[in-house]
Amino acid sequence: MKFDSDDTIPAAARKPRAGAEAARYAVLRRMGPKLKHDMVVNLQAISMMAEVLNARLERASPAPADFQASISKLNRLARDAVASCIKVAAWFEPGEDEGVRLSQGIDECLALLASNFNFRGFQVTRDVAESDFPVWSVALRNLLVASLVALTDSVPGPCDVRVKAEVRSNFAEISVRVTALEASPDALFVEPAYRHLEWADVQALAVAEGVELVRSADQIVMRMPRAVATAPLQIAPV
């Protein structure tokens, strides 16, 4: 029996892939606490609601209308929990040919980093043109988050973070710039959940996703092509 092995892959091809996979893993590890929170927050709400309902049943049988209202709320919480888990799971196993509107994708990335940036005293400015222009979700998530984390990791204290995006022809041009600020007494030092991200990580992801990237000391600019689905349409089972 013969098994496929990386030994059959030329070293020149193996190294970029390994670098991109290491960078993706690092991004997920850095996002781990927030992704975990997003996954369990609705599950915790379900648990609390179930305990309340159980206590009411132990005290006395609630009125049918009240009982039905509680069950309906429990069902809504369960649906929200499923949606949250599916959304988080997409970070680990994204769908094929999945596109996202530029502004929506950027907002999702900034939302994931918001609490960490707030704790560290960062000020975030978003300058994104509203547009239906689609980009690949996986490329945007990995590269934008990696760029934001790598640049802020390189700053010793609080900073101003500016994310700007605009559509140019068939490309979306996204820039991330950081400017150091005076230290605030309210800013907290937060030790990363995993190692710092570096320029090599961002560069490896850009090569893997086929995205143009330009870097300066305090800024990263990326040009993402329009997402055009190539997979054949599938008919959902009845």
Does 5 fall in a domain?
A: no
Q: Are residues 103 and 79 part of one domain? A: no
- pLDDT of 212 above 80: yes
- pLDDT of 238 above 60: no
Domain hosting 21: range is 11-92
Domain total in the chain: 2
% of the chain residues with pLDDT over 90:
44
Does 232 fall in a domain?
A: no
Residue ending a domain, among 92, 122, 140, is 92
- The CATH number of whichever domain residue 177 belongs to comes to 3.30.565.10
Q: Are residues 122 and 203 part of one domain? A: yes
Q: Are residues 157 and 55 part of one domain? A: no
Does 21 fall in a domain?
A: yes
Q: Are residues 179 and 104 part of one domain? A: yes
User: What band does 15 get if pLDDT is binned at 50, 70 and 90?
Assistant: low
Does 2 fall in a domain?
A: no
Does 111 fall in a domain?
A: yes
Q: Are residues 125 and 78 part of one domain? A: no
Residue 181, φ and ψ in degrees, nearest 5: -115, 165
Strands (E), 11-133: 99-101, 123-128
Q: Distance from first CA to last CA of the chain, Å, rounded?
A: 40
* pLDDT per position as a tens digit, 222-232: 999 999 876 55
Provide the whole-model pTM.
0.79
pLDDT for 9 equals: 35
Q: Are residues 166 and 75 part of one domain? A: no
- CB 200 within 8 Å of CB 26: no
Average pLDDT, the chain: 83
Q: Are residues 124 and 49 part of one domain? A: no
Does 29 fall in a domain?
A: yes
Angle (deg, nearest 10), helices 11-59 and 102-119: 70
Residue ending a domain, among 64, 92, 120, is 92
Please list, in sequence order, all residues whose beta carbon lies within 8 angstroms of the beta carbon of residue 20, skipping any fewer than 6 positions away.
204, 205, 207, 208
pLDDT for 157 equals: 83
Q: Are residues 88 and 25 part of one domain? A: yes
- pLDDT of 190 above 90: no
- CB 143 within 8 Å of CB 199: no
pLDDT for 6 equals: 41
Does 119 fall in a domain?
A: yes
Residue ending a domain, among 92, 122, 150, is 92
* pLDDT per position as a tens digit, 18-45: 689 999 999 999 998 888 888 888 888 8
pLDDT for 5 equals: 36
Does 233 fall in a domain?
A: no
Q: Are residues 142 and 81 part of one domain? A: no
Q: Report CA dihedral (154, 155, 157, 160) to the nearest 10 degrees.
A: -130
Q: Are residues 216 and 120 part of one domain? A: yes
Q: Are residues 125 and 110 part of one domain? A: yes
Q: Are residues 115 and 81 part of one domain? A: no
